[in-house]
Every structure is written in structure tokens, then in C-alpha cells.
């Protein structure tokens, strides 16, 4: 049996993206994608937010693509990050590491 770690999401950019560079100089962009659900879903289930990370050439993107409110189709894989706070508390976050994204039709 083969297991695959692939996701495809559509939604709108919920916040302005955060850009930074790794120590090796490669660009990284992080943004939040707000997913829309069926209108007949319960109110608490109508909106979900997913953290998206793009690295390298993908992080450079085309101008205007990652603006607040832009409707995107994102493909990638799930990844869990774990870390400890200064107080010693363990935290984790699941993100989508984007392999490509484009304007949704």
C-alpha cells in the first residue's frame, strides 16, 4: 500500500503574507488561507483557516498574487512543526507546505 501526503485547497488569502529569508538566503512566505464551506453548514463550521508556507522560487511568486482577499488554489503537503516555549511548554502546528499555488478560477 502506498501512502501519499497531498492536499489541494481553495480559499481566500485571509491576512497579508509575511515574507522572510532563511539563513541560506532562500525566500519564505507564510500566509493564512480561509476556506469556505457549504452555506447550509452550521455557523461554527462555515469558515476554517489553514497556515500555508511557500519556500524558494515559489515564495517569490508573481506580483499581486498573494494579496489580502485573493482567491487561490493551493497544492502541497501537510507538515507538523513542534517546539518548546521558553517556559518549557510543548506546542505544535500543522501547516501546508505549498508545492504550487495559482489564482482560482
Per-residue pLDDT of the chain (105 residues; tens, 9 = 90+): 888 999 999 999 998 899 999 999 999 999 999 987 666 767 666 678 899 999 999 988 777 788 898 999 999 999 999 999 999 999 999 999 999 999 987
Residue 98 burial (C-beta neighbours within 10 Å; 0-12, 13-18, 19+):
buried
> What residues contact residue 103 under an 8 Å CB cut-off, 6+ apart?
65, 70, 71, 72, 73
Please give the model's pTM, rounded to 2 decimal places: 0.83
Please count the structural domains in the chain: 1
CATH number of domain containing 69 = 2.40.50.140
Structural domain range at position 25: 7-103
Q: Which of 50, 97, 102, 48 is nearest to 71 (CA)?
A: 102
Amino acid at each position: 500500500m502506498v501512502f501519499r501526503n497531498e492536499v489541494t485547497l481553495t480559499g481566500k488569502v485571509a491576512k497579508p503574507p509575511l515574507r522572510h529569508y532563511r539563513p541560506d538566503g532562500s525566500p519564505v512566505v507564510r500566509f493564512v488561507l480561509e476556506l469556505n464551506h457549504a452555506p447550509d453548514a452550521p455557523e461554527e463550521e462555515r469558515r476554517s483557516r489553514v497556515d500555508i508556507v511557500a519556500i524558494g522560487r515559489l515564495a517569490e511568486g508573481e506580483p499581486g498574487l498573494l494579496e489580502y482577499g485573493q482567491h487561490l488554489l493551493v497544492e502541497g503537503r501537510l507538515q507538523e512543526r513542534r517546539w518548546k516555549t521558553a517556559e518549557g511548554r510543548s506546542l505544535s502546528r500543522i501547516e501546508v507546505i505549498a508545492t504550487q499555488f495559482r489564482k482560482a478560477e
